Chains A and B, each alone.
Chain A
Amino acid sequence: MIDQSVFDTNKESITLLLGSNDEQMYKVRKNAYRLIIGSLTDDEDHGIRDPEDLSCLPLALWILRYINESILTSRTINFVRDFIERYLNSGKVSDEDLEFISRVFSLTIDYDLEDEHFLIPVGQFISNVARLSGYNHRLIYQNLDHGLVRCRRPLVAKVIRETFVKQAFAAYDSIDPDATAEILAPIYEEVDEIINKLKSSGIKVNVDLGSVDFSMFPPCIKEYISEMREGINLPHLARFTLVSFLHKIGMDNPSMVELFKTAPDFNERLTTYQINHITGQISSTEYSPPKCSVLLSNHLCYKGDDPICNKEWLKHPLQYYTFKKKMSAKPAIKMKGVKKTSKKFNH
């Protein structure tokens, strides 16, 4: 069973753990390295098999805080996130236990015996799934009544896993980076080993966009690229948009694979397959990026005050790119007629 100790990043607990020769403690330490190294190398053997193995997470977070490499942190947290989701859907967790686990993450999800569905308070639902794309995560498609979303287990598992991610990052942020070196001193060799593996893994590559002009990109595409560089995991629809967009404007597939290497859940084989699929090299169907309206309703539009995005005629990210290119080719009329249209306050 998962319990609150997964976020116990208390300095004293870690010191105790590292100072002990107890076999159990030794296993926890070993699991923490295996978890991080497995996330780094995409190794199937992460050392996390049971929820009990998650007791290594606090130490893993301390090590990650020390290494301070956002891609590695995201990858590790995402690995645990996926483990939790699989576990909750695995049939090993009863409905009552799921209610209990939700409370471990400060959620108040209940099971309605009569209707055999779970009830999630709407605020907990939207604050945790808003970043996931797909119709099944949108509030309009839910059975919403008097503040409760009535749904099945897979959606509950999604809400819990997303809550886990937020809380894991909060626990990570709560660790004082200046204290890490001293606290982790007893295991400095293992930590160094992780750092060396990180250096040789190549997940920190600088992306060369080649002939493609970044400054012409719409805010959404720029945001996806920069999120990926910061190690934030992109929702599927954002990746799809990014790949189809870059393809349409002429980026070749190997450069795209390079670009995706910075993604926290990068898997070369899968990424190459997906890119080849979207760009029509596998199925002969070449996909186009979605329209702005689709991105907007999936929270993937970042137009803000951008003058071009706020034009009524702008319907598509590619249209943005072509417009900007045209404008830059004719500097004399550059941005003519483009005004800020968004209202700053209300009348």
Chain B
Amino acid sequence: MSLTHALFGRNESDLKLQNLFQKYYSSWSLPAVDKLQSREIGFIPFFGTMTRHRSFNDVRELSHFVSNVVPRHIYYSSAYYEYPEERVMKDKKWLGAELIFDLDADHIPGASKMTYEQILKEVKKHTHRLIFEFLLGDIGLEEKDLKVFFSGGRGYHVHVVSDWIYSLSSDARREIANYVRGEGFSPADLRRAMLETPSKMSGWKKRIDDQVVNFYTLLNKSDQYAEILSKVFGTEKKISSYVENLNKIITGKSVKKIEVFRTEGIEKYQYMDVNDQLVFSKIMDSVISDQQCEIDEPVTTDIHRLIRMPQSLHGKSGLIVKPIHLDEFESFDPLIDARVPEFSNQELTVNLPRDFSMSFGGITYKLSEGINKLPGDFSIFLVATKIANFV
């Protein structure tokens, strides 16, 4: 253990990391934070515990503070307050809050078995769906209402800044959170709701109805659908008898049931028997799991949340909390675009406790255990993520 560490509980790698962060913050391009003076600011320093309830009059003041203190993490509140510096929530006098979506690896099924790059890709897929399908599609927001950031860690943050959003209660926000998560469906209620649908079906009901039509059109021509049938009925014999039934004429209608089920719209829901409902329930589940967005629900429903400050550095990756223009979202690659450009020009030396490989900044590294000289941005990433130490 080094002397500094022994005396002050500070490890040298962290000290060096803080020095590098300071370089970044000394020429920090000021974050475009609207209504900064109404937001609560919080920090986690490199050494010590979190500070909350700070407020700053303008970005210059904040910038000055940050370049002096050089925190490991910087947060701001999604809420606007009359008195953001008050310590008791009630005294802050809440004025409104952005609506925040936090998409993170923690909520992606199977993430524990994925590499960092795979995780980033998977979370990006959900973020894409959230923005383009749900927020700009169903919810009807406009591009100008959205601010999208790479979180600096393992995902993305989407902030909605439209006027009608600010005053929404936590319950109202939960409606939106549940909507994008496809949370709260029961097959019986859904069937009832289908029957009450106007001629222009939309939203989740349309997604599910499309899939029902698809299912009965392709039936046993698709592996996914065959799996649904075998899950519901178990044996081949039962499946054939189900299909046979579908081909029968509906009493009083002179049309086969399967034909009705292959037609878009609500009529089919009148004719569903017990077996059809079991199949319907499985189709519903599959649509939800294929088309939902995995968001961290408590973040969206919290109207006092602290969230990472745009353009700040994530203390556990050294990457920038990077604003992403929607036109560039498709091509955005955090491991290229969220690096600190200035850091890539210098070389730093790190010690790796074991062999390690990954792509960073467009280069694939296959590193051996021990001392390695690497571009500064990658070194910082390795140290901040605790994969390596500075020497």
Contacts and interface: CB of A to CB of B under 8 A. Distances in A.
A and B from one complex: yes
Interface of A: 115-117, 121-123, 126-127, 130-131, 135-136, 138-148, 150-152, 297, 299, 342-347
Contact of A346 (B167, B174, B179, B308): B308
Given A150-B200, A346-B299, A127 B178 contact: no
B348 interface: no
Contacts of A345: 42, 75, 305-307
A115 B178 contact: no
A126 B202 contact: no
Interface in B277-328: 296, 298-299, 305-308, 314, 316
A122 B140 contact: yes
A140 B201 CA distance: 13
Nearest to A149: B203
A346 B175 contact: no
A126 B298 contact: no
A135 B193 contact: yes
A148 B139 CA distance: 8
B340 to A, nearest CB: 19
Given A127-B168, A141-B190, A141-B193, A146 B200 contact: no
B85 interface: no
A227 to B, nearest CB: 13
A342 B192 contact: no
Contacts of A131: 171
Contacts of A139: 175-176, 178-179
Nearest to B193: A141
Nearest to A125: B175
B377 interface: no
A344 B77 CA distance: 11
Nearest to B190: A141
Contacts of A299: 171, 174
A144 B138 contact: yes
B204 A122 contact: no
Given A145-B138, A147-B140, A140 B182 contact: yes
B203 A143 contact: yes
A297 B184 contact: yes
Of B102, B104, B192, B202, which is in contact with the most chain A CB atoms at under 10 Å from its CB? B202
B353 interface: no
Contacts of A150: 198, 200, 202
Nearest to A117: B198
A146 B140 CA distance: 4
A152 B196 CA distance: 9
Nearest to A143: B202
Contacts of B184: 135, 138, 140, 297
A347 B104 contact: yes
Contacts of B68: none
Contacts of B204: 140-141, 144
A143 B209 CA distance: 12
